[in-house]
Chain A
């Protein structure tokens, strides 16, 4: 280290310096820890059961078979029901789409009102909303059961949609509020002078200007709602269970012989949607979670 710091001209960048070997060595070791589970899941899902029993979980499949994927999708059993994960996938889609639309619509309007149309008490509600994000869900689970029962929505997909909208609200509202606050004040004032009202400015100015933040919100919500297990298991009936709940029931069922290849194919199928979103969205995903993490 010390030699490298002598101030004689620019530092000669050697490709294989000791520091560099350590740097890349550490990174590669960590990368293996993070990458191996995905690799193991993929190779396991492509092997037949005899090969799994004989071999090594890290070895690539000798004979590639897609049978486990077909079985996981169309035939795997939960209890007496043997329709495979396709039903859970369908349910998750049915839950996801209305939750996505409703939660983003409400949160974006909240954020807009909080940024541009503050009223007496609006900041108080916002503060409670943000504090609410830290309250353990367990505290609010049962009151929500009662509310949904009173509304006649308990056990239905729409009840779960409402739950996702409620619990997604703090983070999404924060996201939109911070974004709309950064929109130049002059633009808003000019529109006011032209006689545009609350909704006029929202639909004609704010909405078209803020497509990137809507994409960030969508990424956040798609992964969040798709990965939810707790709300799915509590607020829906078995017929409407989302994919994560059904996956857990398939893999951790006590009956029958464990088919590890089918289990891993099912696990991968459930992880596929968020993984595709993650790899396709790249920087926006990072921006979404950073927005979720760092308050404005």
Chain B
């Protein structure tokens, strides 16, 4: 297979070549830091073989007609054309867009609100923080199964409200193709907002007390101070939070598998699940590679503006 060969080529040969010291008095460039270089071999292999090599490999093979096994018979953009005309992929993309949009907004709003409330010098801050954050320690599988049970139409929340007298109450997202993605959203927010709250809280704690005093002296209300002064000051924190939320959204997979397994029908499919289904279940590697390349592309689209904001313009270590 050509794969193992391409794995070994990109790693630099320096650490192996410089075993024999040529000039013991003044170590040559290659020999300097020998131990550090040797110790970094796992890192070098990981970055060059898996991250760089693996990514290039997948992108290259996404232009082939590979089915059961990867084969280098190029077919141009065929896989991508097929991908974008597959209903399942389009539904996956639509779901990701809806989930991503609302997840982004709600996570930021809830995360910031909770952090701001906790920052008001309240009693029991630790208890509240512990409660808000514990779902983050749980896996998506556990999260999905817990909410699958709570949203169970016959025995869950819908049943409880109905048995309290509101007979016509309907809340059955997991069996309704039109709103199933919102059922997953509720679970996703439950699991992930705590993390953003912690990051926001750290950001708020980093704001100088003097700013609050100055705002008070100027007679600016609390809410106004947050919106006009504090939030603009926390721009880097918000950017970090956004990048975290966005990269989490694109990866969404196990939550869907556990909560709905893509159902009802294919109504709650997501791109990551599409990739894995085509690669490991449907034996259609080319489709899986094309779909995963699209995922990579979407990450690049998010990362480049962020990298530009963070590292462009002023240079800092």
**What is A's interface to B at a CB cutoff of 8 Å?**
1-2, 5, 7, 23-24, 26-27, 30-31, 33-38, 40-41, 44, 52-53, 56-58, 106, 109-110, 112-113, 117-122, 125, 128-129, 131-132, 134-144, 146-147, 150, 165-166, 169, 173, 197-199, 223, 226-230, 234, 244-245, 247-248, 251-252, 260, 263-264, 267, 270-271, 274-275, 277-279, 282, 285-286, 289-290, 293-295
Contact = CB atoms under 8 A, between A and B. Distances in A.
30 contacts: A27-B128, A30-B114, A30-B132, A33-B190, A34-B135, A34-B194, A35-B131, A40-B150, A41-B146, A53-B155, A57-B155, A113-B39, A129-B43, A138-B288, A140-B51, A140-B58, A141-B275, A227-B138, A229-B258, A247-B145, A260-B149, A263-B145, A264-B146, A270-B142, A274-B137, A275-B134, A275-B138, A290-B199, A293-B244, A294-B240
Q: Classify the secondary structure of B's interface with A.
A: helix
Contacts of A109: 39-40
A141 B276 contact: yes
A121 B12 contact: yes
Closest 5 CB pairs of A and B: A227-B139, A198-B35, A143-B54, A117-B36, A132-B51
B29 interface: yes
Contact of A58 (B49, B135, B139, B160): B160
B83 interface: no
Interface of B: 1, 3-4, 7, 12, 29, 32-33, 35-37, 39-40, 42-44, 46-55, 57-59, 61, 70, 110, 113-114, 117-118, 120, 122, 128-142, 145-150, 152, 155-157, 159-160, 163, 190, 194-195, 198-199, 202, 216-217, 219, 221-222, 240-241, 243-244, 247, 250-251, 253-254, 257-258, 261, 271-272, 275-276, 279-280, 285, 288-289, 291-293, 295-296, 299, 303
A50 to B, nearest CB: 12
A74 B21 CA distance: 61
B202 A294 contact: yes
A146 B1 contact: yes
B42 A34 contact: no
A150 B3 CA distance: 9
A135 B140 contact: no
A273 B198 CA distance: 22
Q: Which of B39, B241, B293: most chain A Cβ within 10 A?
A: B39
A33 B217 CA distance: 37
B64 to A, nearest CB: 12
Given A34-B134, A199-B35, A290-B198, 8 more contacts: A57-B155, A110-B40, A110-B42, A132-B46, A138-B275, A142-B70, A227-B138, A229-B253
Nearest to A111: B43
A264 B149 contact: yes
